[in-house]
Homo-oligomer: A and B are copies of this chain.
Amino acid sequence: MTNFYHIRDLSSNFEDYLKIIGDLEAGKDQVRSKVIAKTMKVKPSSVTNALQVLREQKLITYEPYGPISMTSKGKRFWLIIHQKYKTVKGFLTEILEIDHETADKLACTIEHKISPQVTERILLLKQFLKDENLCGTNAIDRLHDFFSKRTEESEKEIGKEIPRFLLSVLKPGEKATIHKIDGDKAIRQKFLDMGLIRGQEVVVERVAPLGDPIEITVRGYSLSLRKSEAELVIVK
């Protein structure tokens, strides 16, 4: 009866095209077909096809070879997807301490399937953990301690105890995985924003004469850390 092939809801993939267009429009530059193709890891002709579909749905305005811009309906849609993405990715990185790349991929799947209620609950859970102050310690910090304790225990069980160091003792060219970040809430948040998170791989690029500053690469980005900051990061 209801042939759901004919119901033109927007598929996950086309929601992603819209998401990327929205992200690009938020930047200064004009939205380019080529950039969309590169971001989606798809050939330019696929982008053209997607643009035509999005135009049909009145989510963007666009003519052949012409500029691409979102309609207000498109912007509304984009905002919804964007918020879901941010919520899920934030949950994965900040609460579960999943590395950015994995979190990105998973969030990009979930964002299309998640209901407003689930989104709200995740936000509330996050808020709950951030505000909850059990015995003087923040709940998220306790959770993350719990994560590292358990990880250590299971590593011990399978007998592969991996030595740990401070990031500050590594030499140029050495690679390591972040195990834990010490320091107060503010500094942890700062590290988080830079993409320094448990499980994230980092490469030490250069170390200044007295070990300060230290230049590292994280997810393709270059970062410069004070020695005092690098001493808060435990790697393995």
Contact = CB atoms under 8 A, between A and B. Distances in A.
Contacts of A110: 106, 109-110, 113
A110 B118 CA distance: 13
A122 interface: yes
The complex is assembled from copies of this chain, and their number is 2
A146 B118 contact: no
Given A125-B143, A150-B124, A109 B106 contact: no
Interface centre among A117, A121, A124, A150 (most CB of B within 10 A): A121
A199 B139 CA distance: 27
A146 B124 contact: yes
Given A109-B109, A109-B110, A124-B146, 10 more contacts: A96-B118, A96-B121, A102-B117, A106-B113, A109-B113, A110-B110, A110-B113, A128-B143, A128-B146, A132-B139
Interface of A: 92, 95-98, 102, 105-106, 109-110, 113-115, 117-118, 121-122, 124-125, 128, 132, 134-135, 139, 142-143, 146-147, 150, 199
